[in-house]
Structure 1
Amino acid sequence: MSGVRPGDWSAQGVEYLEPRAWEALRETERSVLVTAGAGAGKTEFLAQKATYLLQTGLCPAPKRILAISFKRDAAGNLAERVATRCPPEQARRFNSYTFDAFAKSLLDRFRAAVPDAYRPPSDYRIVMPYGRDYSDFLTSHGFHGVRTDKFEHAIARERLPIANEGSQLQRAVATYWQAQYDEQNGVRLSFPMINRLVELLLRKNHSILKALQLTYPVIFLDEFQDTTFAQFELLYTAFGGSEAVFTAVGDDKQRIMGWAGAMPEAFAKFEEGFAAQRISLICNWRSHADLVQIQHLVASRIDPTVEEPEARGNRRVDGDVCAIWEFATKEQESDYLAHWVEREVQAGHVEAHDVAILVRMRADQVEGELSQAFANRGLRLRNVARNVGDIAIQDLLGEDMTQILLRLIRLGASGRSPESWNASLLDLQHLEAVDHGDEAGQQLLQERLQTFVREMRRTLRGRDPVPGAAGEVAQSALDFVGAEVLRRAFPSYKRQPDFYRVWNGFRLLLEDSLQHAETWSGALDEFEGFGQISLMTIHKSKGLEFHTIIFYGLDNRTWWSLTPDRPEELKSFFVAFTRAKQRAFFTLCAERGQPIGWLERILLPGGVRRVRF
């Protein structure tokens, strides 16, 4: 569909958009701030607006739409939704990044234009320091009067160049930058440092700034409530004062990244900085009315003025949809959870991979507490926070390389997979820049893919599905695509260390998956987590949804900071609660802590039962 008149355009792939969503979608002359609660379909709204702009020509070729999300899987999900609604030549003009990936792509592309004093070499290393790393630096360099948290925030916020003078904090930051550039094993940059370098690059180079503004007249911002001061400053340096039109979506009730520097008044700052109109969505497409009613009690405590959502989900379960399960011992708790999940899965009420156990922190520790009880019931608990090599499983699954290689191997492992075939063709079209209208090019891609699939099937038939075969099979898929082609197509893989981190993680997870499977198809299902209960932290659950969530540890020790005067902790609880489509349960164990009385007084009037075992 191309060249559709705006008045004739209709929503793609969905039956209904609420009137306020239509209002925000059709606003193309000025920036809009779309506030939308849990389950409101923020990602779907952005996909629909992108489709509208591309199909009507309101964002004409060669101009592009820049979409920025906080999580890699969210960025990928948004790009996939646009790709299913638009022909390839239009979808290719929708560029979806995380904040970090966007900044890194600009640094890698325009590194030579960074002022001399801060220009990193091409082989710089990405590092992700912890608080103890900053503390060790301050101690070793004699900055005993500087607090670690203030130092970390200053690295992320201080504009470059930084003079090694003034306050002790400023001198500490300047010394830290110098130390990272003087490292014996090469320059080391964190993502906050990359942000600062790109802000400097754009501020000092008008031609690059102008080219960026001409390329992207439309910018989407997802989960805007978590935007940091540095990220907002980078956006303003890049697009402030230009003709760019923003669409930002978010929910202040889900602002849980204050500890990472999220702005406390992000919405007001956006409205002021980009003269934006605010529009609120009220539908909840995820949860049914009984669950939404309880969630609204928590939302009202966070914001007494919040509108009550209009529940659009259908209830498909009987019995409790929300309860607090109280146990005397940890052993009783883990045994009951495993028994309950086993019963629900065997009864066909829910698939194992549509159940999530959410923890506030220390997923590795909770895995140790629960995994044996689940294994005794024939259930697999998957800690998606666990690292394979140098990358967490959840992050690995959201990588472009992972999805491309996985689809190719699945074509060889299955008899017929139209979904994987079509997706792989789209991958090849993107990687090799073959135009949708190029019939000869399309035919050549199909023939190449057919040849590869035959060879992959022959390889898999000749190799038992054992861990030792993982490397050969993964390498076959990578050789077909081409490592250099991948690195050229995706800026995040341009540097060899970044490419290898994902590639090594892919091979290791495939190898691990083959330890638990009898067939190649089964190994790929294992790789993606089918049939396994997900274990993750509440922060990693954001943006996801599950049929049933079990929140592990609703007590005053696990949630020692959940007090009436700390709203951000209640927001974290709210985020966890709203991941549920059908049911949400909370466990309380006397060995771990005591009830959080004030929170229970919010929940119990909504029909939430406390069940003692």
Structure 2
Amino acid sequence: MTFVKPEDWVPQGVAELEDRAWEALRETERSVSVTAGAGAGKTEFLAQKASYLLQTALCPAPKRILAISFKRDAAETLAKRVKIRCPEDQSRRFVSMTFDAFTKGLVDQFRLGIPQPFRPPADYEISFPTAQIVRDFLERGEFSEINNATFEKMLSARRILDENQIVTARQREILDAYWQDQYYGGASPYLTFPMINRLAEYLLRTNARIRRALRITFPVIFLDEFQDVTGPQFELVTTAFDPATAVLTAVGDDKQRILGWAGALPNAFSVFKQFYNARPISLLLNWRSHADLVAIQHVIASRIDPDVEPAQARAEREVDGAVSAIWQFENRDTEIATLALWVKAQVDAGTAQPHDIAILVRNLANAAEDEMCDAFREQGLLLRNLARNVGEISIQDLLSENLTEILMPFLRLGAEKKNPKAWSEAQETLRRLRAPLEDDEIALQLIADDAADIAKALRDHLAQHPAETGSAQASVDLLIDLIDEKSIRQSTPSYIRDADFVRVKEGFVELLDEALSDAARWSKALDAFEGLDQVPLMTVHKSKGMEFHTMIFFGLDSQSWWSLTPNRAEELNSFFVAFTRAKQRAFFTSCSERGGQIVWLRQLLGDAVPSVDGSTLA
């Protein structure tokens, strides 16, 4: 492999980087703290820095780069960008995963290194206990002197089997009882992700060989969306990676801190800069939104941080008329019917495709889907509720799973006569799973032959099995066998355990069967599976990391957004994050029947976001 001199390296796949991004990218001798506002291209910056380090051999083989994100889709997006910017032998050395996947991988690999009574059984399942489940445990154990919030903080903060940590006898009794209840109190053993974090912290704290292996393998670490890091997560990072030997890049935006309720540090960047002696750099350009939207974003950002620097818009405005407004309606039926008519008109006019117009709700996406789907269907539109579960996984999470990425190109090849993009992705998938040497031409040709054979076998199978509900299971089973289930599961740490792999596979089959129920042929079913020409519906929190041509906030009223008050900084942060997902327009619907106006927010937005009589839109 030929490497590029650092001084000769140029950005990959983009026209330019801002000067401050260049500074942060070229800083390789010490850790760097990069604060970047909405649309600044944080993911793209990390992809470029990874490409720079790999292509210049500043991160030489066999050393790797570890990128840790908070959301699965963010981790997948970053990995994909590096793959298309670097040769395969280099991109294979870029490992992108979530915090939860990182900790779970450690626990699954080194489980036997955890002593009893904390060693998890091999067949544990992931648990997401509700507040009532936690309350029931506390009451059963007669631990009612503490509330749920206190208990959860205790669980997350306690370092297991650490005699140096100050823990009262009563706290130890409560926490030990919870671990035993999770392992042996039900039909199956369960672990929550805070518990997995504590197990991983124990492994790193007590096992120098694991720490040494991590540090040798990953001299470079990226931390994405760092504003949402929790104390236990940062403790894990500092235990794993020594500031004397590791170079970290933390990227994020304090204005987008939305996980304070989950324990996110209030001063994450300050703590990071102090511990790792990091160089602070701020990015200013906004590549997503045009100047008119950026101006409104700055109004909201200034309420969050009066000292914030104005962002510089780099996107072009592509629409005429208003780019933001509050549409006021008298009743819910009119609100929903008019919204569906308006979206239909935009699609018919060619302003945007259905999948480029997103509808956001504060919460309860399933209820909103039930409320709106008929009106949209009457206009020939389908709502795509990304928060809805198929089996035990949400549609949004399923679409970002590795299994989905692996299977879809081959399904496309089986369903369509020609698809160059799918053919390229299918070969890349097999190369990634089988990891041949870059210059092994015979192995590479065998992979191309295998990809063709798999596509042909699947094409023959699909030709004999019509596109209808019930056809998904056999087709997915066949495809996984053709590709090789063992190699698929070995490629993804979270698929090593049967329960985790089966959960994703069953969700895939269920969603594909749904898509087949209303498709004339397999290619149309795959379009439906991916959400093509469907209007996405999601919660505000789930919009983070995404972007759409037009965003519509459904139900901006004091009932739906009851928690959006001047003294709740995190709620305003969430509102800001969601608003900044818009590339061209951001509208709001408000219904008098549902709830009153949020007066202080309307005053904040002022003339930049006028109120409009919704009846004028139809």
Is TM more than 0.5 here? yes
How far off is 1:170 after superposition?
4.4
Give the distance between the partners of 1:53 and 1:573, measured in 2 at CA. Answer: 36
How far off is 1:611 after superposition?
3.4
Contact 1:146 1:169 in 2 (8 A): no
Q: 1:355 aligns with which of 354, 357, 361?
A: 357
Q: Which residue of 2 aligns with 1:109?
A: 109
1:330 aligned to 2:337?
Answer: no
Q: Which amino acid aligns with 1:591?
A: E
Give the distance between the partners of 1:105 and 1:236, measured in 2 at CA. Answer: 18
Relative to structure 1, is the Cα distance of residues 605 and 220 closer, same or farther in structure 2, using a 3 angstrom cutoff? same
Give the distance between the partners of 2:276 and 2:486, measured in 1 at CA. Answer: 39
Give the distance between the partners of 2:613 and 2:159, measured in 1 at CA. Answer: 54
Q: Percent identity?
A: 54
What secondary structure sits across from 1:35 in the alignment? strand
Contact 1:115 1:201 in 2 (8 A): no
How far off is 1:566 after superposition?
1.2
How far off is 1:169 after superposition?
4.4
Q: Which amino acid aligns with 2:459?
A: R
Contact 1:222 1:250 in 2 (8 A): yes
Q: Which amino acid aligns with 1:188?
A: Y
Q: Which residue of 1 aligns with 2:43?
A: 43
Give the distance between the partners of 1:174 and 1:524, measured in 2 at CA. Answer: 48
How far off is 1:561 after superposition?
1.5
Contact 1:291 1:583 in 2 (8 A): yes
Q: Which amino acid aligns with 1:387?
A: N
Unaligned runs of at least 5 residues, structure 1: none
Give the distance between the partners of 1:498 and 1:441, measured in 2 at CA. Answer: 31
Q: 1:482 aligns with which of 456, 481, 484?
A: 484
What secondary structure sits across from 1:39 in the alignment? coil
Give the distance between the partners of 1:497 and 1:485, measured in 2 at CA. Answer: 17
TM-score normalised over the length of structure 1: 0.98
1:339 aligned to 2:362?
Answer: no
Q: Which residue of 1 aligns with 2:231?
A: 229
1:595 aligned to 2:564?
Answer: no
What secondary structure sits across from 1:63 in the alignment? coil
Q: Which residue of 1 aligns with 2:467?
A: 465
Contact 2:328 2:611 in 1 (8 A): no
How far off is 1:179 after superposition?
1.5
How far off is 1:184 after superposition?
4.9
Unaligned runs of at least 5 residues, structure 2: none
1:553 aligned to 2:550?
Answer: no
Q: Which residue of 2 aligns with 1:292?
A: 294
Q: Which residue of 2 aligns with 1:129?
A: 129
Q: 2:217 aligns with which of 215, 218, 227?
A: 215
Q: Deviations over 1:532-586 (max 9, x none)?
A: 0111111111000000010011111111111111111111110111110000001
Q: Which residue of 1 aligns with 2:546?
A: 544
Q: Deviations over 1:106-145 (max 9, x none)?
A: 1111112223332222222221212221111111111111
Contact 2:121 2:183 in 1 (8 A): no
Contact 1:323 1:611 in 2 (8 A): no
Q: Which amino acid aligns with 1:14?
A: V
For this pair of structures, how many residues does the alignment match?
A: 613
Contact 2:243 2:275 in 1 (8 A): no
Q: 1:364 aligns with which of 363, 366, 370?
A: 366
How far off is 1:165 after superposition?
7.3
Give the distance between the partners of 1:238 and 1:582, measured in 2 at CA. Answer: 42
Relative to structure 1, is the Cα distance of residues 242 and 202 closer, same or farther in structure 2, using a 3 angstrom cutoff? farther
Relative to structure 1, is the Cα distance of residues 49 and 165 closer, same or farther in structure 2, using a 3 angstrom cutoff? closer
Q: Which residue of 1 aligns with 2:282?
A: 280
Q: 2:257 aligns with which of 255, 266, 286?
A: 255
Q: Which amino acid aligns with 1:333?
A: E
Q: Which amino acid aligns with 1:218?
A: V
Q: Which residue of 2 aligns with 1:97?
A: 97
What secondary structure sits across from 2:465 in the alignment? coil
Q: Which amino acid aligns with 1:397?
A: L
Relative to structure 1, is the Cα distance of residues 329 and 155 closer, same or farther in structure 2, using a 3 angstrom cutoff? same
Q: Which residue of 1 aligns with 2:245?
A: 243
Give the distance between the partners of 1:146 and 1:56, measured in 2 at CA. Answer: 55
Q: Which residue of 2 aligns with 1:148?
A: 148
Contact 1:547 1:583 in 2 (8 A): yes
Give the distance between the partners of 1:486 and 1:242, measured in 2 at CA. Answer: 36
How far off is 1:295 after superposition?
0.9
Q: 1:414 aligns with which of 410, 413, 416?
A: 416
Give the distance between the partners of 1:281 and 1:563, measured in 2 at CA. Answer: 29
Q: Which residue of 2 aligns with 1:564?
A: 566
How far off is 1:588 after superposition?
0.7
Q: Deviations over 1:281-323 (max 9, x none)?
A: 0000000001110111000000011011100111111111000
Q: Deviations over 1:53-106 (max 9, x none)?
A: 000000011100000011111111111111111111111100000000011111
Q: Deviations over 1:309-354 (max 9, x none)?
A: 1001111111110000111101011001100000100111100001
How far off is 1:433 after superposition?
1.6
Give the distance between the partners of 1:192 and 1:398, measured in 2 at CA. Answer: 23
Give the distance between the partners of 1:440 and 1:121, measured in 2 at CA. Answer: 43
What secondary structure sits across from 1:117 in the alignment? coil
How far off is 1:149 after superposition?
1.6
Contact 1:550 1:586 in 2 (8 A): yes
Q: Which moved more, 1:89-98 or 1:173-182?
A: 173-182
1:318 aligned to 2:320?
Answer: yes
How far off is 1:395 after superposition?
0.5
1:506 aligned to 2:508?
Answer: yes
Q: Which residue of 2 aligns with 1:399?
A: 401
Q: Deviations over 1:245-276 (max 9, x none)?
A: 00010011010111111111111111111111
Contact 1:89 1:436 in 2 (8 A): yes
Give the distance between the partners of 1:510 and 1:287, measured in 2 at CA. Answer: 34
How far off is 1:522 after superposition?
0.5
Give the distance between the partners of 1:435 and 1:99, measured in 2 at CA. Answer: 30
RMSD, aligned α-carbons? 1.4
Q: Deviations over 1:9-32 (max 9, x none)?
A: 000000010000000000000100
Relative to structure 1, is the Cα distance of residues 520 and 612 closer, same or farther in structure 2, using a 3 angstrom cutoff? closer
Contact 2:227 2:257 in 1 (8 A): yes
How far off is 1:437 after superposition?
1.5
What secondary structure sits across from 1:196 in the alignment? helix
Contact 2:3 2:57 in 1 (8 A): yes
What secondary structure sits across from 1:477 in the alignment? helix
Q: Which residue of 1 aligns with 2:607?
A: 605
